[in-house]
Chain A
Amino acid sequence: MVVVVFGTMLQMHAQSDSQPITLNLRNVSLQEFMKEIESKTNFTFVYRDILMDTKKDISIQVGNKPLADVIQTVLDSKELEATFSHNTIVITKKIRVNKAVQKKITGKVTDNKGEPLVGVNIVVKGSNIGTISDMNGNYEMMVDEKSILQFSYLGFDTQEVRIGKHDAVNIALQETLNSLDEVVVIGYGVMRKSDLTGAVSSVKAENLPTSSNTSIAHMLSGKAAGVTVIQNSAQPGGGVQMLVRGAASTGAGNDPLYIIDGFPVGGSSVEPASDNRYSNFGSRNPLNSINPNDIESIEILKDASSTAIYGARAANGVIMITTKKGREGKAVVNYNFNIGIQEIANKIDMMNATEFMQEANKFAEEKWYYDNHIYPYGNIDPSSVSNRLKYPYSESEIAHAGVGTNWYDLVTRQGMINQHNISISGGVSGLKYMTSFNYYNQAGVVKNSDFTRYTGRINIDHQLNQYVAYGITATHSNILSTNIPLGTEDFENSGLLNSALAYDPTIPVKDKNGNYMMSELMTTVPNPVSMLEISDYTRTKRLLLNTYVQAEPIKNLLLKINLGFDDQNGLRNSYLPKTTLYGQQEGGKASKGLAASFDKLLETTVNYNFQIKNIHHVGLLAGYSYQDFEYEGFAASNSKFFTDVFLYNSLASGEAQRPTVSSNKSQSILLSYFGRINYNLNDKYLLTLTARVDGSDKFGINNRYGFFPSGAVAWRIKQEDFLENLSFLSDLKLRVGVGQTGNSNIGNNAFEYYTAAWQEYVFGNTVNIGTTKLQLANPDLKWETTTELNLGIDFGFFNQRIGGSFEYFHKEVKDLLGFRKLKSFMEVNTVAANIGKTQSKGIELTLKSRNTTGLLKWDTEFNLTRYVDRWKERNPDDILNPWQKENDPLRADYSYLSDGILGVGETPPSYMPHLLPGQFKVKDVNGYVRDEFGNLIPGADGKVQYTNGPDGIIDQADIVLIGTYDPGFSLGVGNTFEYKQFDLNVFFYGMFDRIVNNATRGKYSIPEIRRILNGQNMMTEVSDRWSRDNTESNLPSGFVSVYPQPSDYLWEKAWFIRCKNITLGYTIPTQKIKNIISKARVFADISNLFVITPYTGNDPETDFKAGYPNQHTFAFGLDVTF
């Protein structure tokens, strides 16, 4: 079979390499000669750069001569020879034919994914016999049985194979881990990694676990130094806070700019709110709409010198997402699927019915002592108390209670993930294509939390002729997400999980008539199981399309025009049926909401590269960009439906007195000019200068345009002669960059406006619309400016077996966007302003090591990130709260400090005379300067002054900084092993030195213990609280003192190490069926197997009050390439 195919190919080229050609060239280089041939025929040349000289010494004048003859005539003069294969002409060094060769060997060279590699150098070790692979990765040569073949290719590790008895040697080359020649994507272009002057992290898609994650954002946790990914919610497709080098902005957001295939996405979310009381469905990630399987690479531009080309939007870093392109050659069809199950990792320990009743009785008794001031809460004689002690539950009720209803279990389930992905890519005569289809379906561990996504993609590039190329990348996604109420509000607005934790465990789900049972004690919280009858879903659609036309009218001068749009819309439907508590009150409530955004982009760039005397390499870029952002929304709702049948599909059938409608619209424009100069001297000294001017209608009238310059230099020390002999050192480079970038995410805050929304008043029976001034103008309002210094070292040892980089950065954000407080007595008492400065410092370390090669391959990747964000300077007009200090961390948490529990018989502190046993003493740490009457004595600046020491009064001056939620440092460690057909990937990441407020304890434990008498369930830990018979406890009694409450005991240490994934793969040997299947791999994957942490809540990363529980995921998958 193979032979037949090969034979056919030989015949084909036998016909075509003899095609006649006419040429008339004078003093051209070899490359120019080949270009000419390529333009006149369908052939493409394949060769190695080292074979080419640049001498313009070729002159040829022929008419209608056979192509092969013409080419060979020219090549002869250069000691080269040509081999024709299909429509490829492979050029190799002319070799003397060794008479000792004994057999013909054929084979195919691919990368480790089975994609053919073109132009791989194949030589017999220790000789000059060799060839290179053709367009389809195939090669053939005559060799001795004893010889060893050496396969080498740029960016891949060289491999050797002993021939032995084989007739065919197929080989898959491994990509080099630390290649200096690796190409990375930067703003408006690409660059060799070795030429970079800025701080750029690159993540290749193949290293990301795609099986149990909806978006690439979820997969980046711990993957790149300088990138902190904090998952806000563990729900399917849950939101992610992605931070590049910390979060130094306080009022304009810290989201990086995402650029997908050259299109800067605006970041507007099209998630309409619903008009039912449960508007909070958790958070969702805008990158859910991009199929992670389509992604080729992700580059994170971190420092100002790399990002300044994106000007006013670049201050939080830029994430460049590049999708896969087709390669010329036969079509590669890939199909993969995976299926997984999910289990809740950690449940909150709540009381069962028996425990609940016992604890309620115990609390009622304690409360009777407390309320009636009986010892130890006072000196009242219990016999004189007329108010008798009443226990909520009788002995027999407790005896028959059992475990009762576990509401949490009733609203949760085993989760399921199911994904199919198919892609076809390839290319013919200048046209390259990549198409894909993805289906992802996840049924989350909480009932009704489902996520279904369909995406399709077409990427096409076409080299039309020698001068003009064009292309398109287009992806469409359609996501259906069911919305479960995840709000952290309480009582009537309780979300599903909040209700499930709170609900009385002593009552059954339904009564005898089949109606949902209601707690008699807590009637504002709906029966959690009834909430599963709410129909609420959102469908979001996105078409992201970007096209380009590019021309090269003269060599190395590239003109490019990009045109694209990002069309997104979201539709939300919700119905609260009458079987639910609040559905009943409203007579059923239906709503529909629509949100749509349409962003347009026009970009033109001019790129020119040239060199002077072969040592000065210069690259110039200039460009113009126009982007327009449009956002609009519409919503309608109605209630009082006679039937639940219509759901949200017949709003007109409701009989509400005043059905609600609303709509909104906004638009903004960004106009930009930018340029860059790259200069490379002798590959040793590198310089990059960039600048951008951004204009936006969102900025104040006096500040319409911003200018953002940057510059960076790099020194490739290893290229210097004096390091040439240090053979263990394979790379050493120093980089220094400075630059300014902006954050223009200021909303429409610069202008005065009046609103007519939510200003109603009722006259008669009619709601009248009022107006009010809502915002003051600030004509000087402008973007935030970040000035950043970056120092970087890239290093490599032992031929890049160990390599990495270290970065240090220092940035200062000035003109922080925020709201300046005006006097509280003013009609509008804040105004948008550029206030104060923050600073952020940090270090990043990336290490990659190839520990072992050979049969067992073991690679390790390690990264560490540390940053500290602090205030540097605050607005002098801003009135700080007494506990805030000038240079506090940006996301600081404050509390009164607890100072132990007042014991029985202990005298309370003099400043807490009403404190009772079992209540927290509060530390007196500070106070205000007062005169003898107690009046505050203001300082010269008119502000209050502090005693900076105890003053015998507990007031707000005693609130202190207790820490921050931001990790002090975070790291990721990945290990990859390969042994024969097996591969294993183990990845850990962690965050350290941070605190989290365990808000679940705040509601279901001691601070709210009194609600046990209102039928609210509690965590089992409440039984450890202080009481008359447990006076040694260090947890308070739960009877709130009249003094400020310290909350520091609810803030827990929350460092963690998460085993993010363990993936084991097995590549099925496919030699026998390789014409059908070129590669097949099965894999098993465990995500989030365990977390090591001192935090007692659900999860140290994704937890919030009654938060969506994090899961273990066990997945199995198959990946086949045809």
Chain B
Amino acid sequence: MRRIHILKLVIIIITLSSCSLDVEVFDQLSSNNILNTENDVRAAVTGIYHELRGGGWDRYNCAWGSLLTMQIGCTDECSSNWLWEPQMDFLWTAETADMGLFYMELVPAVTKATSLIERMRKVSISAPLKRQYTAEVRCLRAIWAYDLYDLYGPIPLILDPEIATNPEKTQTYAPFRPSIESYVNFVESELKEVQENLKATDELTAGDYGRMTKGIAQMYLLKLYMHEAGQERHYRNNENKALIWWAKVDSVANQMIIEGKYELQTDYMSIWSPTNQRNREIIFPIPNVPLGGLGNCFLAHALPADYVSLNNIPLTKWGGFLVPWQFYDTYDPQDKRLNALLLTYWNGKKMVDRRTEYVGSPGAIPMKYQENPNTTGQWDASEYVINRFAEVLLAKAEAINELQGPTVEAKALVHEIRKRAFDNYEGSVHERLIDDMTDKSEFRDHLLQERGWEFCWEGMRRPDLIRHGKLISNALARGKLSAEAKHILYAIPQTAIYENTNIIQNDGFFK
């Protein structure tokens, strides 16, 4: 009897404790609960915006490998205390990992956007909201497509939802590089189409500040047209086509000016001032909070190690960013834009003169971003400015010059920019300098220089020099003897070619 009881007990325990092996996940989301409500969609769209900053270190920020350093690292306005030689000395290859970061990160971001656009199509939420979110994601995707094109030339992007949502299919997917024409068409049509469903900057609520706006789409259209104009003239030898692009530049700039959503700040330094955030000059901002990965770390990159805050703010100082004296010295000494380039600073005991006392490489310190008390030292709350209205005015001036020569209208636009740079501008030599110009190419050269002064360390210099056909000649003149014609593009990262040998490397980077 006893045996049977014990056996029964064993069997009962085994049966009771048997259970199913269904998975339970507690702290992640499954495809069932990811995209059902408006809040879900909003979070998924935020996930796409996240691709602008990743962990905070490259992409649309300022560390090496970011859009900023990619666009200035090989130009005359940049020097560094760090090992940036491959870029500064025109020695990059397909294996220079940091020059490929932007590619390796933003190409999958485009795929992610394509995938979300497709998944959002099937979600039932209010139609206007869905249209807006879709437009935002498409706008971001077009921006990334443009910046990738600017840096690496046309590359295969995943715009087909069938590919984007089906990873197994892609294992045998080895697309060729698209033609320039089709690539440019895609970026242009996307940026045009999304405008209808994007809000204007003044329509955004305070809590939505930082979302894609119609102005940002227009801004990137402007950049695309200018880029194409420069390419046609200098690298495709098609002056007629160049003029068509310039006409488009003029038209978009005009539209932006007429719409009146943006205006110049009267004080140059106030554009980046912590007390003048969200000002109307800013077109494309990356809003920040003083938290790791979510803040602005430009100052930490730029400030020299012995810099001491006069406002008693504990700041992180890595001392990496510099403006070479050769570039600094091209400014008129009275140009107030020099205030953004630090020549002397307090080190706790005395004022240090960067010209004579420095550790590491010589140069002034780019300091458009100013000390912000809302900081954790390394990350501060100052919004990061990608594009601003001054670009639109100078773009229009350049377009008019290309189409009609240095007209009064073109000069007036340049005066608008310069008059905040100089005291008592009207009637001064600074104004006359512009007014005295009669030659189209003289005015064109001046615009390149004016943009250099206006946008120093804002990520405009490389595209400006390329548009003017001067990146390589400027480098050679600076003693960068390795610079060659191929360097108007970065190389496609070697890893992208390993996995898809149908991608033909940019000219000159085979070896």
Chain A residues within 8 Å of B, Cβ to Cβ: 387, 392, 467, 491-492, 519-524, 551, 553-554, 559, 561, 581-582, 584-586, 602, 604, 606, 624, 626, 639, 657-658, 663-667, 669, 671, 695-698, 704, 748, 750-756, 758-774, 776, 821-829, 831, 877, 879, 882, 914, 930, 933-936, 938, 942-944, 953, 955-956, 1013-1014, 1040, 1042, 1044
Contact = CB atoms under 8 A, between A and B. Distances in A.
5 contacts: A770-B50, A823-B171, A826-B108, A827-B111, A943-B501
Nearest to B115: A827
A936 B375 CA distance: 49
Given A520-B306, A554-B3, A768-B46, A585 B289 contact: no
A764 B210 contact: yes
A954 to B, nearest CB: 10
B108 A774 contact: no
Interface of B: 2-3, 6-7, 9-10, 13-14, 17-19, 21-31, 34, 40, 42-50, 52-53, 55, 83, 85-86, 89, 91, 93, 95, 104, 107-108, 110-112, 115, 156-158, 164, 167, 170-171, 173-174, 205-211, 286-291, 293-294, 305-306, 314-318, 347, 359-360, 362, 374-378, 381, 482, 494-501, 504-505, 510-511
Contact of B289 (A658, A751, A829): A658
B271 to A, nearest CB: 19
A1014 B305 CA distance: 9
A521 B305 CA distance: 6
A633 to B, nearest CB: 9
A753 B23 contact: no
Contacts of A769: 43, 46
A827 B112 contact: yes
B487 to A, nearest CB: 14
Contact of A760 (B2, B46, B211): B46
Contact of B347 (A520, A554, A704): A520
**Secondary structure type dominating chain A contacts:** loop
B3 to A, nearest CB: 4
A776 B104 CA distance: 19
A531 to B, nearest CB: 16
Nearest to A822: B167
A781 to B, nearest CB: 12
Contact of B318 (A524, A553, A604): A524
A770 B91 contact: no
A756 B39 CA distance: 13
List the 6 closest pairs (A to B, CB-CB), nearest first.
Answer: A934-B510, A585-B377, A770-B46, A770-B47, A553-B3, A665-B26
A829 B111 CA distance: 11
Q: Which of B107, B158, B318, B499 has the most CB of A within 10 A?
A: B499
Contacts of B112: 772-773, 827
Nearest to B104: A824
A977 B451 CA distance: 86
* Most chain A CB atoms below 10 A, which of B28, B42, B209, B375: B28
A725 to B, nearest CB: 49
Given A584-B314, A827-B108, A930-B510, A669 B495 contact: no
A236 B27 CA distance: 34
Contact of A759 (B46, B376, B381): B46
Given A666-B27, A823-B173, A696 B21 contact: yes
Given A671-B21, A761-B46, 15 more contacts: A524-B318, A553-B3, A585-B316, A663-B27, A664-B27, A666-B27, A751-B25, A754-B29, A762-B286, A767-B291, A769-B46, A771-B47, A773-B115, A823-B173, A1013-B359
A956 B48 CA distance: 34
Contact of B43 (A665, A756, A1040): A756
Contacts of B306: 520-521, 523
Contacts of B314: 581, 584-585
A825 B207 contact: no
B317 A524 contact: yes
Contacts of A704: 21
Contacts of B40: 771
A666 B500 CA distance: 38
B394 to A, nearest CB: 29
B43 A771 contact: yes
B158 A825 contact: yes
Contacts of A663: 27
A530 to B, nearest CB: 13
A370 to B, nearest CB: 12
Contacts of B170: 822-823, 825-826
A606 B9 CA distance: 12
Given A553-B2, A771-B34, A825 B111 contact: yes
B499 A561 contact: no
Given A553-B3, A584-B314, A753-B30, A765 B21 contact: no
B161 to A, nearest CB: 12
B91 A765 contact: no
Contacts of A392: 359
Contacts of A877: 171
Contact of A492 (B13, B164, B378, B495): B378
Contacts of A665: 26-27
A754 B34 contact: yes
Given A559-B10, A748-B25, A765 B115 contact: no
A131 B437 CA distance: 126
Contact of B305 (A523, A624, A697, A760): A523
A609 to B, nearest CB: 16
B359 to A, nearest CB: 6
Contacts of A697: 21-24
A275 to B, nearest CB: 10
A771 B210 contact: no
A624 B16 CA distance: 12
B31 A752 contact: yes
B111 A765 contact: no
User: Which residue of A585, A944, A1044 has the most chain B CB atoms within 10 A of its CB atom?
Assistant: A585
Contacts of B9: 561
Nearest to B315: A585
Given A671-B19, A752-B31, A523 B317 contact: yes
Nearest to B206: A764
Contacts of A523: 305-306, 316-317
A778 B46 CA distance: 27
Contacts of B377: 582, 585-586
Contact of A770 (B49, B158, B501): B49
A93 to B, nearest CB: 38
A698 B291 CA distance: 35
A877 B499 CA distance: 10
A657 B209 CA distance: 19
B265 to A, nearest CB: 20
A267 to B, nearest CB: 20
Contacts of B95: 955-956, 1044
Given A754-B29, A759-B47, A762-B289, A561 B23 contact: no
Given A669-B19, A756-B29, A829-B108, A604 B13 contact: yes
B10 A524 contact: no
A943 B43 CA distance: 39
A387 B13 contact: no
B372 to A, nearest CB: 13
A667 B31 CA distance: 19
Given A765-B289, A930-B510, A827 B164 contact: yes
A467 B85 contact: no
A698 B23 CA distance: 7
Given A671-B18, A827-B111, A764 B207 contact: yes
A117 B57 CA distance: 70
A944 B498 CA distance: 7
B25 A753 contact: yes
B75 to A, nearest CB: 19
Nearest to B3: A553
A935 B108 contact: no
A265 to B, nearest CB: 20
Contacts of A822: 167, 170-171
